[in-house]
Amino acid sequence: MDMLRAMTVFSRVVETGSFSAVARDLGLGQPAISKTVEALEQHLGVRLLLRSTRRLTITEAGQAFYENAAQVVALAEEAESAARGAAGLYGRLRISVPVTFGRLHLVPRLHLFMEQHPNLQIELLMDDRYIDLIAEKIDLSLRTGTLADSNLTARKLATAQRYVVASPGYLAKKGKPATPAELLEHDVIVYGQGSNAREWQFKQGTTQTSVHVQSRLQVSAAEGLREAVLSGMGLAIASGWMVGAELEKGELVRVLDDWTLPALDLWALHASGRMVSIKVRTFLNWLDSLEL
């Protein structure tokens, strides 16, 4: 039995949850994928997957085998890529990124990276929620804000300023706040979960102040915040990454310009204790070359 091939097939089945998806990826028929997994189970003498008409469920033995097999497959790909050089990258790179940042700043440029590495497959998971890198088999995650993970290796890529913004239409109707305290008299859109999202902190020279804003609208995704503030629903805090183009075009206006807000950092994260693949290193070097 070709164990490396069997490990590769089995790992991809676990990661995609589908025989047919792996068959498409590898250019094989679905029966060939199924037979490879069955042969692997017979060789090992254990059941790795439980099959039903609706789903595949990995067994305890299958999970233990997968964790080791995935490392073997990754090492094999790393060895081949290293021998070929960076231009010879191939295989799969699974990346997670916040929706709005990915849509505005990563996706429009991603073709440049993919053109340099035509044998590399990119799986881009665009989601604003917290992503468990280990559970979801993420090679690299881009996140913004403050980090709380202790089991991840983090590298800061860039920093953006944050502003209080509103549409010209909203300001024409409601007026422009002159101090943070006047935010309490305005319609405010809050981005994030929990009460901390309502605590807006400002600094002016050596003076610091915070305002616990009142809001009828609280959204969990940046796309919702963008649309709400652009439609004139109120004031919001947004980063230059989120609304830079709209500020330049005059579709949004900054207020409280003589006060500053905490900046927003962009981080690249990967699991600690694992060898960083040449694919991840190459992608990080490419990100460093961009003006974010």
Q: In this predicted structure, what is the pLDDT of residue 270?
A: 86
Contact call for residues 242 and 252 (beta carbons, < 8 A): no
Q: In this predicted structure, what is the pLDDT of residue 264?
A: 94
- Does the pTM surpass 0.75? The reply is no
Distance between CA atoms of residues 280 and 45, nearest Å: 35
Contact call for residues 50 and 44 (beta carbons, < 8 A): no
* Per-residue tens of pLDDT for the chain, all 292 residues: 899 999 989 988 887 888 888 888 788 888 999 999 999 999 999 999 998 777 888 999 999 998 888 888 878 877 776 776 655 687 889 999 999 999 999 999 999 999 999 989 999 999 988 888 877 778 899 999 887 766 778 899 999 999 999 999 999 999 999 999 999 999 999 998 766 889 999 999 999 999 999 899 999 899 999 999 999 999 999 999 999 999 999 999 999 999 999 999 999 998 765 557 788 889 999 999 998 8
Name residues whose C-beta falls within 8 Å of residue 209's C-beta, 6 or more positions apart in sequence.
180, 181, 201, 202, 203
Q: In this predicted structure, what is the pLDDT of residue 275?
A: 58
Contact call for residues 158 and 292 (beta carbons, < 8 A): yes
Closest alpha carbon to 215 in 183, 240, 243, 171 = 183
* Four-residue CA torsion sign, 165, 166, 167, 171: negative
Backbone dihedral region for residue 45 (phi beyond 0: left; psi -120 to 50: alpha; all else: beta): left
Q: Which residue has the tokens 């935010």?
A: 183
In the Cβ-directed half-sphere of 61, how many Cα atoms lie within 13 Å?
A: 9
| Burial letters 255-291, b for 16+ CB under 10 A, else e | bbeebebeebbbbbbbbeeeeebbbbebbeeebeeee
DSSP 197: G
